[in-house]
Structures are given as C-alpha cells and as structure tokens.
C-alpha cells in the first residue's frame, strides 16, 4: 500500500514537471494570446525563440501592442534588435507615440536612436512636449565697463532627424552662454541691456545655435539680469597701481645709481687726497736734498718757516669766533689731565 502511494506521487510529480517543460518550451498560452490579438505567429517560432535565447513574451507582447496601435512590425526585426542589445519596449512605445503625433518616425530610425544610447521614448515625448533648460549665471561686461550677470531659459524640442550624432544639452547651454556674452559685450551701455533684455534673445536666436545639435531651439527668454562689478574701474585701478609700481621701481633704480655714483666720487676724492698727502710727504725730502746740494740755505729755510707761520695766523684770524655754547662743549669734550 505504501509503495503504490509513493509510485503514484512520483508519477504525479513527473507528470507535472513534464507539463511544465512542455509549456515552457511550447508557450501555448502566449500563442493563444497572440492569436486572439490578431498577431500571426506559429508555435514553432515560439519554440525556436527559446533556443535563440530570446524570451517569447517580450516579442509577442510588443507585437500585440504595435498591432493594436495600428503599426505593422516584423518579428525578425524585433528579434534582431533584441539580440543587438536594444530596448524593445521603449522603441515600440516611441513608435506608437510618434505615430499618434504624426511625426513620421520609422522602425529603422527608432532602433538606431536606441542603439546609439539615447532614450528614444523620452526623445519623442520631448519632441511633442518641449523642454525648458535653465542656463547657469553668465557674466559679461558691456562697453562702459559694467559687468552684467544674466540667466536665461531655453525652450527646446527634440529634432528626431539629428538625434543620432547630434550634440546634446551641454552644447546648447554653451552656445547660448557664448551668445549672451557676445550680445552684452557689443552693447554700448549696460543701461540699454537692462532696458531691453529681449535684445539679447533676438541676437542669440539669429546665430542659429541649434545647428548640428539634437534639439531645435524654440525660444530664449532672459529670466534675470543682475548688475555686477565695475570691471572698467577695477582695471583702471590695477593699471594705475602697476604704473605706480613701475615708477617707484625706476625711481629706486635712479636712486641706487646716484648712490653708487656718489660713492664712486667719494672714492676718487679720497684717492686724490691720498695723492696730495703723498706728494706733501715728499717736501721734507726735497728740502733735505736741497740742503745737501747747497741749493737752499739756512736763511732761506727760516724765511720759508716764517711764511708758513704767517699763513697759519691769517687762517686762524679769518675763521669766525666760536659761540660760548660751542666753547663749553669743546671744553667738556677735552680729556682731563
């Protein structure tokens, strides 16, 4: 009795496992759902999808969704895109949305956009519902030297035809910022920019900034303009400080040269004085030589000494008398005996 129950249970488990294997490799329920939805696909193709490592439910569900939306997609194309690493659900949803919006997006272009790494469904939504991009604060200087800081909002929509290989949002923001700087920089006064901020938008839009990008610029609106620093005055102050430093450096150079010249002249004067002293030291030798040679007598020598004494006396008489304070100071300065 126990053996028979065990055998029945084993047969039941084996039967259930066999049915699971059969229905896994032969998805009859999925085939029936496709049949009642108007999608013609054979059971053999569903089995072969299993062998090609493709989940049949993904292919069948996307075929059902496209068929109900009025699109005719090929099963082989869906399988090829799945094997290439694409996102079938995103592609099919994008095709359905584009068809409802009369955008003319075909399967080949949608798969190319998807394989390029872009979200094709989001691109279609952005094409139908434009997106607003806010630029970071852009600082520019008008011709009068006043800095202006502007913020802009750029309304863009996706250009499906240039989505593959086209530049992204960063390029749009960079070009808009460049256009704002150019527009403010060409203004004669910052007041004219503050009075007519729409002039910036007109100048920027005329430049065709969306060429070569994956977007089409619909409008550029200046959201805010703030007055910054007086760059012209700051530059003038910096230039004045630089000129002052240069002048000071040149004056210091001339002063150093004058000091060097003065020291050189002092050195030359000392050298000349040394030559004079050296020459004066030769006088006693010459007198002694004159005595020996008989060219100079005793009386002549006395006359020479009297002349020197007279000269010293005249020099002392010609000097101005010292003040009492000076005499006291000179007296204090004399060393005590």
- What is residue 7's predicted lDDT score, i.e. its pLDDT? 61
**Which residue in the block uniquely carries the two structure tokens 């029945």?**
8
Does the residue 251 lie in any domain?
no
10 and 108 co-located in one domain? yes
Q: Is the pLDDT of residue 98 over 70?
A: yes
Q: CA 73, 79, 85, 90: dihedral to nearest 10 degrees?
A: 30
- This prediction has a pTM of 0.54
Q: Is the pLDDT of residue 25 over 60?
A: no
What would the two tokens of residue 265 be? 């002249």
Domain boundary among 128, 155, 173: 128
Task: Name the most confidently modeled range: 8-17, 94-103, 202-211, 308-317.
Answer: 94-103
**Which residue in the block uniquely carries the two structure tokens 């099919």?**
92
123 and 147 co-located in one domain? no
Does the residue 72 lie in any domain?
yes
Dist CA 58 CA 78 (whole Å): 9
Counting the structural domains of the chain, the total is 3
Does the residue 269 lie in any domain?
no
Contact 225, 149 (CB under 8 A): yes
Q: What is the mean pLDDT of residues 180-208?
A: 82
Does the residue 255 lie in any domain?
no
- What is residue 1's predicted lDDT score, i.e. its pLDDT? 46
**Which residue in the block uniquely carries the two structure tokens 């919006």?**
101
Task: Name the most confidently modeled range: 4-13, 86-95, 126-135.
Answer: 86-95
145 and 178 co-located in one domain? yes
Average pLDDT over the chain, rounded to an integer? 80
Contact 180, 203 (CB under 8 A): no
91 and 151 co-located in one domain? no
Q: What is the mean pLDDT of residues 85-101?
A: 87
Does the residue 271 lie in any domain?
no
What stretch of H or E contains 185? helix 169-185
Contact 58, 88 (CB under 8 A): yes
Q: Please provide the DSSP assignment of 195-247 as one string.
A: H-THHHHHHHHTT-TTTTBSEEEEEEEEEEEEEEEEHHHHHHHHHHHHHHHHH
Q: Is the pLDDT of residue 22 over 60?
A: no
Q: CA 8, 9, 12, 18: dihedral to nearest 10 degrees?
A: -120
8 and 96 co-located in one domain? yes
Q: What is the pLDDT of residues 233-276, one digit of tens each?
A: 777 888 888 988 999 999 998 889 999 988 888 988 888 888 88
Q: Is the pLDDT of residue 3 over 80?
A: no
186 and 75 co-located in one domain? no
**Which residue in the block uniquely carries the two structure tokens 């527009």?**
183
Does the residue 123 lie in any domain?
yes
Domain boundary among 112, 128, 144: 128
What would the two tokens of residue 127 be? 């094409």
Angle at which helices 43-51 and 28-36 cross, to 10°? 130
113 and 28 co-located in one domain? yes
Q: What is the pLDDT of residues 124-162, one digit of tens each?
A: 888 888 888 888 888 888 888 888 888 888 888 888 777
Task: For residue 312, give its domain range.
Answer: 281-317
Strand partners, 133: 154
Q: Is the pLDDT of residue 232 over 80?
A: no
**Which residue in the block uniquely carries the two structure tokens 């020197």?**
308
- What is residue 10's predicted lDDT score, i.e. its pLDDT? 65
Domain boundary among 105, 128, 151: 128
Among residues 155, 152, 171, 177, the alpha carbon closest in space to that of 214 is found at 171
Contact 123, 158 (CB under 8 A): yes
3-class DSSP assignment, residue 108: helix
17 and 123 co-located in one domain? yes
194 and 294 co-located in one domain? no
Does the residue 95 lie in any domain?
yes
- What is residue 5's predicted lDDT score, i.e. its pLDDT? 63
Spacing of C-alpha 129 from chain mean position: 33
Relative to beta strand 146-158, strand 215-230 is: antiparallel
Q: What is the CATH number of the domain that holds 154?
A: 3.30.479.30
Q: What is the mean pLDDT of residues 200-225?
A: 81
30 and 123 co-located in one domain? yes
Q: Is the pLDDT of residue 335 over 80?
A: no
Q: Is the pLDDT of residue 334 over 50?
A: no
Backbone angles phi, psi at 69, to 5 degrees: -85, 0
Backbone angles phi, psi at 309, to 5 degrees: -65, -45
Does the residue 337 lie in any domain?
no
- What is residue 336's predicted lDDT score, i.e. its pLDDT? 46
Strand partners, 167: 213
Q: What is the mean pLDDT of residues 57-73?
A: 86
Q: Is the pLDDT of residue 2 over 50?
A: yes
Relative to beta strand 215-230, strand 131-134 is: unpaired
Q: Please provide the DSSP assignment of 143-175 as one string.
A: TTSEEEEEEEEEEEEE-GGGTTT-B-HHHHHHH
- What is residue 19's predicted lDDT score, i.e. its pLDDT? 56
Q: What is the pLDDT of residues 52-61, one digit of tens each?
A: 888 888 888 8
63 and 159 co-located in one domain? no
Task: Among 1-10, 160-169, 280-289, 323-332, name the one with the lowest average pLDDT.
Answer: 323-332
Among residues 130, 222, 126, the alpha carbon closest in space to that of 176 is found at 222
Strand partners, 153: 134, 221
180 and 122 co-located in one domain? no
């Amino acid at each position: 009795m126990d053996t028979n129950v065990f055998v029945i249970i084993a047969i039941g488990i084996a039967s259930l496992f066999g049915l699971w294997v059969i229905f896994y490799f032969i998805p009859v329920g999925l085939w029936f759902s496709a049949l009642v939805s108007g999608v013609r696909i054979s059971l053999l193709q569903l089995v072969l999808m299993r062998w090609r490592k493709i989940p049949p439910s993904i292919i069948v569900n996307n075929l059902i969704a496209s068929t109900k939306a009025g699109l005719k997609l090929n099963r082989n194309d869906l399988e090829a895109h799945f094997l290439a690493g694409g996102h079938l659900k995103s592609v099919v949803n994008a095709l359905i949305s584009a068809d409802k919006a009369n955008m003319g997006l075909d399967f080949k272009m949608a798969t190319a956009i998807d394989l390029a790494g872009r979200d094709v469904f989001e691109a279609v939504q952005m094409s139908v519902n434009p997106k607003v991009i806010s630029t970071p604060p852009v600082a520019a200087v008008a011709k009068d030297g006043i800095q202006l800081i502007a913020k802009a909002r750029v309304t863009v929509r996706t250009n499906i035809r240039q989505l593959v290989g086209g530049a992204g949002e960063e390029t749009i923001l960079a070009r808009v910022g460049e256009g704002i700087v150019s527009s403010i920089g060409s203004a004669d006064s910052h007041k004219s920019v503050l009075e007519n901020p729409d002039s910036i938008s007109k100048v920027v839009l005329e430049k065709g900034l969306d060429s070569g990008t994956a977007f089409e610029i619909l409008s550029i609106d200046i959201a805010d303009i703030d007055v910054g620093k007086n760059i012209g005055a700051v530059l003038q102050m910096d230039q004045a400080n630089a000129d002052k430093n240069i002048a000071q450096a040149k004056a210091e150079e001339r002063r150093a040269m004058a000091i060097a010249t003065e020291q050189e002249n002092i050195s030359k004067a000392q050298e000349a004085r040394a030559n004079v002293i050296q020459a004066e030291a030769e006088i006693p030798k010459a007198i002694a030589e004159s005595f020996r040679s008989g060219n100079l007598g005793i009386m002549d020598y006395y006359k020479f000494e009297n002349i020197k004494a007279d000269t010293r006396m005249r020099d002392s008489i010609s000097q101005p008398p010292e003040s009492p304070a000076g005499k006291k100071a000179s007296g204090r300065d004399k060393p005590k005996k």
